[in-house]
Amino acid sequence: MKFNYYMPTKIVCGRDCVLTEGAQMKPLGAHALIVTGKSSAKNGALDDVLTALENNGQRATVFDRVSPNPTIACVREGVALLVSAGADFIVAVGGGSPMDAAKAIATLAVQERTDEEIFAGGYEPTALPMAHVPTTAGTGSEVTPYAILTNDFKETKTSITSPAMFPRIAFLDGKYMRSLPTVSAVNTAIDAFSHAVEGMLSRNATPMSDLLAKESLRILYPLLLKTAGQTTDEERDALLYASTLAGMTIAQSGTTAVHGMGYCLTYFHNVDHGRANGLLLGETLRLCREKGVPALDEILSACGDTLEGVCDTLDELLGTRENLPEEELSEFARRSAQNKNIKKSAYEPTEAELKRIFMASCHTLR
Ligand code: NAP
Ligand code: ZN
């Protein structure tokens, strides 16, 4: 057995933990840039963070202009505000979009890059310190070293990464998800599910990442269908915990073919990130069955369901599927075949197989 395991984020979990454990942010700096979207003002997370920082005697400047699928321009705006305010650390509050924007701001604040160089990789392991407060149970960004940004140069979404992009602290409190619209609860839960599954289907899976993924699936899978209705506080706490476990999984393994393909649907059709993955996941699993990928049986065993049972669950959550023309799906298959995530898949689909997945997932003649 041979592997590395590195996950330096301190996880603080529990009801009201931002208020009761907020002193843990004291060592991060004197002045926080809070990076968030508009919903945090309504779900209570922003108020809790402002109170905690005030109790610590720390100053705060709020940057609440992050929209879904953050762009380089949004990150530049955040860096400019950070510099003009004199902030020296970051608190991210929100879903994956504000959390990813925060990581990019924390990095670009200390490492100069032109727009053209942002996706070139090779980042030094330095960034401003961050605390993250997730308000969706999906991305696990609070425990990963990745920031996924819209990449207009290549017409896709691309991750940037460095070990310094791991937040110092993640505060997990499911109470902020009480206000989450049902459609977001469903899409984000599917995203977390896809992370745990793809983590196990990765060439880079390790015994540790599989352990985390299986526990995530054990908790998450029975709750998936519940996200389409009213969930309880207890269920939301469990969803958040499971999504963090799935984030810890992909922090080791990365994501694979499903995410690599899903970026096309998001970039060109604005399909929500989690939904894009859900649309493609069932057919990808069927291909894994055909190719005899060994991890598939372990995934199904952790879910406690059959392959067709998992596909039915996804179908029920997704409802009417997007119907895209064949020529466009051929182009998406061609683009996806170049994506670095595809090459991380335990079974690396050919371009023809990628097209088959797209056709069966997003074309009504399926
Ligand atoms: P999101 O884009 O952060 O948020 C989606 C919507 O939900 C936004 O309109 C947001 O509003 C709203 N929202 C968030 N929390 C809410 C709450 N508690 N109550 C009511 N509304 C709320 O969605 P996401 O699915 O969490 O993140 C997706 C992004 O994460 C994508 O860009 C994806 O590529 C990335 N991602 C990153 C990783 C990683 O490891 N870094 C992994 C997977 C995905 P406001 O924004 O206006 O507040
Ligand atoms: Zn994802």
Task: State pLDDT tens for residues 258-302.
Answer: 999 999 999 999 999 999 999 999 999 999 999 999 999 999 999
Pocket test for ligand 1, best of 46, 62, 66, 136 (most atoms within 8 A of CB): 136
Q: Helix (H, G, I), strand (E, B), or coil: what is residue 339? A: coil
**pLDDT value at residue 366:** 47
Dist. CA 130–CA 168, nearest whole Å:
6
Q: Which ligand 1 atom lies nearest to the CA of residue 45?
A: 18
Which distant-in-sequence residues (6+ apart) come within 8 Å of 71 by Cβ? 149, 150, 152
| Ligand 1 atom showing the smallest separation from residue 37 Cα | 48
**148 CA → ligand 2 middle, Å:** 9
Minimum CA distance residue for ligand 1 atom 27? 96
pLDDT of residue 365: 56
Identify which of 184, 233, 237 to mutate to test ligand 1's pocket (most ligand atoms within 8 A of the CB): 184
Overall size of the chain counted in residues? 366
Q: Which ligand is nearest to the CA of 140?
A: 1
Burial per residue of 160-192, b for 16 or more beta-carbon CB atoms within 10 angstroms, e otherwise? bbbebbbbbbbbbbbbbbeebeeebbbbbbbbb
Exposure string (b/e) for 276-297, b if CB count within 10 Å is 16 or more?
Answer: bbbbbbbbbbbbbeeeebebbe
Q: Which residues line ligand 1 (CB under 6 A)?
A: 37-40, 43, 68-69, 94-97, 100, 135-136, 138-141, 144, 146-148, 157, 176-177, 179-180, 184, 188, 191, 273-274
Cross-strand bridge partners of residue 13: 172
Atom of ligand 1 nearest to the CA of 187: 25
CA dihedral sign, ordered 302, 306, 309, 310: positive
DSSP 322: P
What single-letter amino acid sits at 201? Answer: L
pLDDT at 355: 98
**Residue ranges in the chain modelled with pLDDT below 50:** 366
CA of residue 139 to ligand 2 center, whole Å: 5
**What are the start-end ranges of the H helices in 123-255?**
182-200, 207-220, 233-253
- Mutate which of 103, 142, 256, 273 for ligand 1? The one with the most ligand atoms within 8 Å of its CB, which is 273
Find residue 12's DSSP bridge partners: 171
The residue nearest atom 28 of ligand 1, judged by CA position, is 96
Residue from 67, 97, 105 whose mutation best tests the ligand 1 pocket (most atoms within 8 A of CB): 97
pTM of the model: 0.97
* 30, 66, 104, 184, 310 from 99: Cα distances, Å: 20, 9, 9, 16, 29
| CA nearest ligand 1 atom 21, residue | 180
**In ligand 1, which atom is closest to the CA atom of 69?**
32
What are the pLDDT digits (tens) for 229-261? 999 999 999 999 999 999 999 999 999 999 999
Give the ligand 1 atom nearest the CA of 97. 3
> Residue 364 has what pLDDT?
75
Residue nearest to atom 32 of ligand 1 (CA): 69
Beta strands in the chain (DSSP E): 10-13, 31-36, 59-63, 89-94, 130-134, 146-151, 156-161, 169-172
Nearest to 135 by CA among 79, 178, 74, 84: 178
Q: Which atom of ligand 1 is nearest to the CA of 250?
A: 40
Give the distance, in angstroms, between the CA of residue 207 and the centroid of all CA atoms in the same chain: 21
Q: What is the pLDDT of residue 117?
A: 96
The protein residue with its alpha carbon nearest to ligand 1, atom 45, reads 37
